Structure 1
């Protein structure tokens, strides 16, 4: 009985502190955006001395207010984004980067930085719909109530990108930074499946970053970067990659294999099946689907800490789909099984890439 009472007291004490995360949860995001906007990680990384950069030196480098910068850095150090360490003479302290802060370098294209993703998700266009999440949760499943993004902007994400090139560029950069991180992992996990494949179409390939990585990994491939015409207008010109405009709901260019990353989660089952059928009708042998698979079993105490964090990312993304799309969702394996079978694929397999994404390979026969 006494132990039970102690547990209740501990839980209550923890809750009294945890609740503040929900009152001020946006501070983490805003402080990270501030660091990226001011290029603080770059200033620390490029400091000419081998010593940690002092507050005065950092202020001078990024032209910041000492008082305000001290407070932002104090918070980010506490959160583990930066480290504060003594200088060699022991008279003062300075700042150093961490693996986390290096992932906030907007100038790096090294397959680790997610700075463009953070800037995209912290844009006004993406933040405003979150305040209307309750409206979609409380509305009937008939779709009579507009999703939060549409309610705020009067159009869906893709309509806004067509009318707002700057917003479209932010999406392309966000998707490209994730491609630099994930596509090499896919290539390693599926290297054997690209043997004998002559042409690959990246459906919804944005600026072509993912296909550019694939053709470097597999130089015998002819790559086709396929997206809406207004997206293709801004695509990169890359060796071995042809940029083709079109609509995946109408048809997909003929090829040996399709690569489709982080596209199907934007759509409900009916649309997802339509896209997959169009991929299948392109006379392909296989389709590489790079998406999350939500675990159907509940977390247990035995679950590895990394697995818990990966699952947390998947669940966060699922709520984001409710906020930013009309019918999109992250799927369980059972839900993926349904759409893949309904699209007419003969079989599929799932390969782990040590990420919140995995690769689902669906075969035509």
Structure 2
């Protein structure tokens, strides 16, 4: 083969990986739905046979077993699970760190978020990107005739799916917030979590803060249909309302994964209401979100840009922002200074002050 032919062949392989990238997502979704990681974990993390896994998911017919084997084989090849041969010649499947993130009942799990993002309702919106580029509009609304939060308010299954997904991610994120933002809550006696239902895992984010800082009076603030499903947490009051109208007064306002759901104009409205809710002399707004590194080559830098496309697909004009974009947004809302702290490889705390 000529050098040019080799280059084109390698390029064909690479583009084929992108063309079939959805196959990996769907195979992992299958494993999450069948709770394969949980089944292996239930055997005290011992490696088990495909038949043992099948027994726990009522997989009886030979055709079903054939599908099961082929999908599991693919996930082993993708290094989601391990496979080894026993002394009897049986193939044994086991867990590794990546598959532990798929455990449903683990403290740190992405299983609920995986099921949410691969929900057919959400997947449908990705097919409208080119249409929206040509004609304008919001992909989710093009696909379903309404926006995501409106649909969630009408359909319990989607609402639960959304809340469960956000709750799982909240546990992961809040662990980093509590660990890295050590002194940030010390001077606060009252804190309102705006969008604390969906963005905060139905009050879970505020509960984590109150547990770590018992002196803080916590307020979980969200829309009525979200607050209605919030469980009771000691030290947390659930308050219903609309962040575009008014926000309950407090020493500080907490916004986790909220502003990236909205366009600049809506974010300015939210931030102005946050400014009204806090003291002009001592108050602050604590934003937990992504700060895009336009030239970043770190392990997680790509995640921010992936999330930016997720915002196109699922939000009402939302986006991820660079520091320059955050600076512009905050100044427009009346915040004279800010401070950015990186708390994980892809999440940041932005402290904004009106003074």
Match of 1:326 among 316, 322, 342: 316
Shift of 1:319: 0.9
SS of the residue aligned with 1:76? helix
C-alpha separation in 1, matches of 2:7 and 2:342: 36
C-alpha separation in 1, matches of 2:152 and 2:92: 42
Shift of 1:353: 1.1
SS of the residue aligned with 1:192? coil
C-alpha separation in 2, matches of 1:310 and 1:357: 9
Check whether the contact 1:52–1:93 (CA below 8 A) recurs between aligned residues: no
Counterparts of residues 18-29 of structure 1 (less than 5 Å): 18-29=14-25
Matched, 1:72 2:62: no
1:10–1:213: structure 2 CA closer, same or farther, 3 Å change rule? farther
C-alpha separation in 1, matches of 2:277 and 2:46: 58
Check whether the contact 1:136–1:322 (CA below 8 A) recurs between aligned residues: no
The aligned residue for residue 128 of structure 1 is: 124
Match of 1:356 among 328, 346, 351: 346
C-alpha separation in 1, matches of 2:119 and 2:351: 34
Q: Deviations over 1:294-353 (max 9, x none)?
A: 1122x5xxx4xxx1x412111111111112223111111100000011111121111111
1:67–1:258: structure 2 CA closer, same or farther, 3 Å change rule? same
Matched, 1:34 2:34: no
Q: Deviations over 1:172-224 (max 9, x none)?
A: 11111111001121122222121121111110011111111111111111110
C-alpha separation in 1, matches of 2:262 and 2:7: 39
Q: Deviations over 1:106-135 (max 9, x none)?
A: 232x1x201110110111110111111111
C-alpha separation in 2, matches of 1:224 and 1:11: 58
The aligned residue for residue 292 of structure 1 is: 290
Check whether the contact 1:264–1:272 (CA below 8 A) recurs between aligned residues: yes
C-alpha separation in 2, matches of 1:344 and 1:251: 16
Question: Normalization by structure 2: what TM-score?
Answer: 0.93
Match of 1:283 among 262, 270, 278: 278
C-alpha separation in 1, matches of 2:100 and 2:5: 40
The aligned residue for residue 114 of structure 2 is: 118
The aligned residue for residue 338 of structure 1 is: 328
Consecutive unaligned residues of structure 2, counting only runs of 5 or more, are none
Q: Deviations over 1:217-248 (max 9, x none)?
A: 11111110000011100011000000000000
SS of the residue aligned with 1:193? coil
